[in-house]
Chain A
Amino acid sequence: MTPDHHRSNVSLARRAWAIRRNAVRMGQVQGQGYIGQALGVADVLAASYFHALSYRPDDPEWEGRDRFLLSIGHYAIALYAAMIEAGILPEQELETYGTDDSRLPMSGMASYTPGMEITGGSLGHGLGIAVGMAMGLKRKDNPAFVYNLLSDGELGEGSTWEAVQSATQWKLDNLIAIVDVNDQQADGKPSDALMQMPEAPRWEAFGWFAQEVDGNDIDAVVAALDAARHHPGPQPRVVICRTTMCKGVPFLEEREITHFVRVEEDEWDRALAILDEGKPA
């Protein structure tokens, strides 16, 4: 049974384009936001929300849904953008992004936003909660998957690795971690100063089924998510997505990239115009 948001003939490239566009519009409302991250992860979210995940846009708490946990609260702008495209959140609401009384706060929280499974922001919580939800689904004989989108920064937290080991121990084949490796953290690039480590081998060493893909290649992400869902082994699965911050808006991609990419006031419209020129079919 294919849900509507999958059956439709809208291409995944077009979905990713819409996610980028929604995110830029939200950034424009505030004159700021984690737009570099949103543009970078848009293709991963398109593949997740319009190919892999099962959900009902009008019933975000449907018991049969796949759970998608965003541990990186600051990426909320990206998830709101995807949930708007998916019809879970109304499009006009993006104009409230980050304002007082909005349901779309800058840092994603379960108590504010329909479809937001957990409160992120204190990084390193998502995978542990995902372990428990995957255990809970198994106890209920519910065949849904638990996805957790985490960041390369979160791989620094000890709690992440406790969860990694636990997932193996409990044979959580219904757990799919997606790691956005954008080579960026708050103080700089992990590859420069913070940590340099080949990703897939260390997850494999912990007993996970690991794949590493170009996270801005939608077909590659789709194939990896399919393989993750259909892998016959009893292990938890991880898809490591190498992404480029600011992807899709070349003048931002070329700027000196930091954790918080500065965008000048007039540049939001420029970014939208560039996206619109490249609108996919």
Chain B
Amino acid sequence: MSLGPNSRRTPKNVARSAPPMGGARTSAMIASLDAEGRATKPAPFGHALAELAQTRDDIVGLSADLSKYTDLHVFAKAHPDKFYQMGMAEQVLISAAAGLAKEGFTPFATTYAVFAARRAYDFIAMAIAEDNLPVKICCALPGLTTGYGPSHQSTEDIAIMRGMPGLTVLDPCDATEIDQATRAIADHPGPVYMRLLRGQVPDVLGEYGYQFKLGKAQMIRDGGDVLFVSTGLMTMRALDAAARLQKDGVEAGVLHVPTIKPLDEDTIAEACGKTGRLVVTAENHSINGGLGEAVAGTLMRRGLRPAFAQVALPDEWLDAGALPTLHDQYGLSVDAVVKRVKGLL
């Protein structure tokens, strides 16, 4: 029998030789995003949900052995009788949440984004979305927020969740927004997929007097040279990048798009239609199928042709490594965004 070598290693493996010794950075799971010197709030999702459940008996929480790592433990501690520990079993996590919803409850189910998007996808589709059940799937470690490698890096969740009819898809930016969005989705009658930052979560939108509105994009700051159209934590980065660009005489606006589906096409088209502005979408997600392509589609359909660029993760299995290293390497750090924009102007 002529079979090839017994294992087909990826080229990466062949190329990797023993590295130099020393170096202190880590590929550890970092479940809280580095606050980078900003004010933070602890566990905004857990606290908001715990508060909601004081007056709403329909709210229940479920987790697949990750309550501590999705901040649902705050809710579980406040309302032990409303919390279900499902064990590490994402499929029944989702199916059982569907069942609870069919019996009239409003379940919040938590795990990491990769495990909802990859393992439980069919269960989300058929048990929840097709039946239009009000299950809220809230997931930590969105995009590139851990250096742990592809098993935990949720680079394509938005693309595949966007593909699901009837599902509302959110990528909130900070603690203020997570708090407000948690309350808003609890009132929303349909199924929701929401990305979560957890632990000590940076708080930036508060100072802009921001108020989350489900389905709405909002201009956080305006500027005539560049328009960032951003979502999730990349709105924080876009705001920092805009401040840095301003020092160099470049006026950059930031349109924050926390609801990726349904997309606020009118607001996006209006903002991007202003002539002469470079449009730069920014997302903590693969370049395929996320906010950038959604915005591009909107612009094409409406006959708008601004200069356009995407800040997004490459279509690759990302490296393991320290998160700051990886954000520089893959273009999500403020430095990388500023450099990119300057190169485009």
Contact = CB atoms under 8 A, between A and B. Distances in A.
Given A99-B321, A153-B88, A193-B85, 19 more contacts: A93-B21, A96-B20, A98-B26, A98-B28, A100-B321, A100-B322, A101-B23, A103-B18, A106-B26, A106-B29, A111-B13, A124-B88, A124-B119, A157-B88, A157-B89, A186-B65, A186-B66, A187-B66, A194-B88
A238 B114 CA distance: 29
Contacts of A204: none
Contacts of B114: 122
Contacts of A187: 63, 65-68, 73, 85
Contacts of B1: 140
Contacts of A90: 18
Interface in B15-62: 16, 18-29
B65 A111 contact: no
A109 interface: yes
28 contacts: A61-B6, A63-B6, A96-B18, A96-B19, A96-B20, A98-B28, A99-B26, A101-B19, A105-B320, A106-B28, A106-B148, A109-B150, A109-B320, A110-B9, A111-B12, A111-B317, A112-B13, A114-B13, A121-B148, A153-B65, A154-B88, A156-B64, A156-B87, A186-B66, A186-B68, A187-B65, A187-B67, A194-B87
Given A122-B119, A156-B88, A157-B89, A99 B67 contact: no
Interface in B103-161: 114-115, 118-119, 147-152
Output the residue of B87, B92, B320 with the most chain A CB within 10 A: B320
Interface of B: 1, 3, 5-7, 9-10, 12-13, 16, 18-29, 63-69, 73, 85, 87-92, 114-115, 118-119, 147-152, 317, 320-322, 325
- Can you list the 10 inter-chain pairs with the closest CB atoms, starting with the nearest? A121-B151, A105-B320, A156-B87, A156-B88, A99-B23, A100-B321, A122-B151, A194-B87, A156-B89, A111-B10
B67 A93 contact: no
B27 A121 contact: no
A110 B39 CA distance: 39
Output the residue of A63, A102, A194 with the most chain B CB within 10 A: A102
A98 B3 contact: no
Contacts of A102: 19, 23, 27
A240 B90 CA distance: 24
Given A121-B152, A157-B89, A185 B65 contact: yes
Nearest to B18: A93
A95 interface: yes
Interface string A76-109: 0000000000000010110110111111011101
A184 to B, nearest CB: 11
B131 to A, nearest CB: 21
Contacts of A193: 85
A98 B152 CA distance: 15
A65 to B, nearest CB: 8
Contacts of A154: 88
Nearest to A62: B6
A33 B16 CA distance: 23
